[in-house]
Amino acid sequence: MAYQIDLTGKVALVTGASSGLGRQFACTLASAGAKVILAARRLDKLQDLQNQIQANGQEAIVVPLDVTDQKSIETAVSMAYEQAGEIDILVNNSGVSKTQKILDVQPEDFDYTFGANTKGAFFVAQAIGRRMLLRAKVAQDSNQVLPQQRIIQVASITGLKAIAQISVYCMSKAAVVQMTKAMALEWGRYGINVNAICPGYIETEMTAAHWQTEAGQKLIQKLPRKRVGQTQDLEGLLMLLASDQSSFMNGSILVADDGFLVQ
């Protein structure tokens, strides 16, 4: 018997949806039937993606979002709920990185990375979590079944293993790992499952050129199967965490790195 995850009737908000993993995640969720809210700073990219999704007969809404701006977070979340109704799934994907040796890191570099990867992720999850908690408490008060609500944090294997010359990025993603566990601990009783994906080396439009360089080729030769992943390699894991089938998973930190951490 065929097995398929159907997200028809679900609403999913994806941050950093203008490119890379966020774009792939948004397309995957839409293909599974979810109404997708596309959130990022680059509205032209979001509108192109919205047109693509709608051309396939699926639903997508665009909201501007700068995760480093608290007012922008509050406005984007309000717009999302006004236009789409209750949000069932948050994919907290926005992030940035800089390659630097530790002695070269300046305070503004530190703030740039932590502002987007840690602080931004935290306050987006907080804003959505607040609404999810309210929805859950209304259900509890009326003796209804708790809605299945999901927060999926996009962390990194660098949150579990230090990598040279991206120390601040590693630290910021390690914080996301602990953030995931803390939110799972506080919100799990309300049917809000918070889990994290830790991708390994993935090729995106931003990193594609690097893999063609001498340094990029040398790194590939050090990987277990001498290859980098594609954004679609994370689809199955995303779909599991977004669905009701992950109801027994909370606070899980799931690695998808082609074996990098076990070598």
CA distance 75 to 112: 21
Is 169 a residue of the active site? yes
DSSP letters of 143-166? TPPPP-EEEEEE--GGGTS--TTB
CA distance 136 to 35: 20
CA distance 125 to 194: 10
Catalytic residue among 3, 169, 190, 201: 169
Residue among 198, 184, 117 nearest 155 (CA): 198
Residues 6+ apart with CB under 8 A from 28: 232, 235, 238, 239
For 57: left if phi > 0, alpha if psi spans -120 to 50, otherwise beta; the answer is left
76 neighbors 53 (Cβ within 8 angstroms): no
CA distance 188 to 193: 6
Instruction: Give per-residue burial for 175-212: e unless 16+ CB within 10 Å, then b.
Output: bbbebbbebbeebeebbbbbbbbbbbbbbbeeeeeeee
Output phi, psi for 80, to 5 deg.
-60, -45
| Active centre residues (catalytic) | 169
